[in-house]
Structure 1
Amino acid sequence: MELIETIKTIVIDTVRAMDLLDTGYATVVSESPLTMKIQATQLTVKEPVAVMTDNVRYRAVTVQGETVVLNPGLKTGDKVLYMKACSGQSYIVMAKV
């Protein structure tokens, strides 16, 4: 039985090291340049590798002479959902969690 448990452990560690996850969670470390820390691997990723979608960008409009903030953007400490693209060559920030 000990051999089987050892083989299971090796397989699990190998799959985990392959980093097959295409989505995950990260924490914003810095706003400019955008820097985030991936929760699963503790890897720090920053622009231009980390790319924001319009869902998380700061957006404001002027209505009758007053500025209205539609989206406040990302702040340090925010948790985000990301999608890994091109085998980890870029990380696309999809939404704030």
Structure 2
Amino acid sequence: MELIQTIKSIVIDTVRAMDLLDTGYATVVSASPLTMKIQATQLTVKEPVAVLTDNVRYRAVTIQGENVVLNPGLKAGDKVLYLKANSGQNYIVMAKV
């Protein structure tokens, strides 16, 4: 029975160490190309590692000949919520906070 518990403990520790999924906050340094500084580690992440969801992309429509901005997008200094995936291989910007 001790062997099974030891193996179970090793597997749990290994999965935790892989750090597959995490969330956090970052500050946008530059909107084009997207560059952000991770708050917890001060790591700077750039496109294509950092990607935007539709929630934070610039979006505008033309209504009766007038351009209406639905979402102004990101600008330098904005705080964002990100989702870290694939052990930090990708940072997905979920929302502006």
- TM-score by length of structure 2 reads 0.79
In angstroms, what is the RMSD of aligned CA positions?
Answer: 1.4
Name the structure 2 match of 1:6: none
Deviation track 1:38-90 (CA, whole Å, cap 9, x = no partner) reads 00000000000000000000000000110000000000000000000111000
Are 2:34 and 1:34 equivalent residues in the alignment? yes
Name the structure 1 match of 2:47: 47
Structure 1 gap segments, 5+ residues each: 1-17
User: Matched residues, percent identical?
Assistant: 86
Name the structure 2 match of 1:91: 91
Q: Which has the higher strand share?
A: 2
Aligned residues: 80
**Runs of 4 or more above 3 Å deviation:** 18-21
The separation in 2 between residues aligned to 1:59 and 1:91, in whole angstroms, is 21
Amino acid in the other structure paired with 1:52: L
Structure 2 gap segments, 5+ residues each: 1-16
Flag the structure with more relative contact order, 1 or 2, with Cα contacts below 8 A and sequence separation at least 6: 2
- TM-score by length of structure 1 reads 0.79
Residues 19, 74 of structure 1: alpha-carbon distance in 2 compared, 3 angstrom cutoff: farther
Deviation track 1:13-57 (CA, whole Å, cap 9, x = no partner) reads xxxxx6947000000000110000000000000000000000000
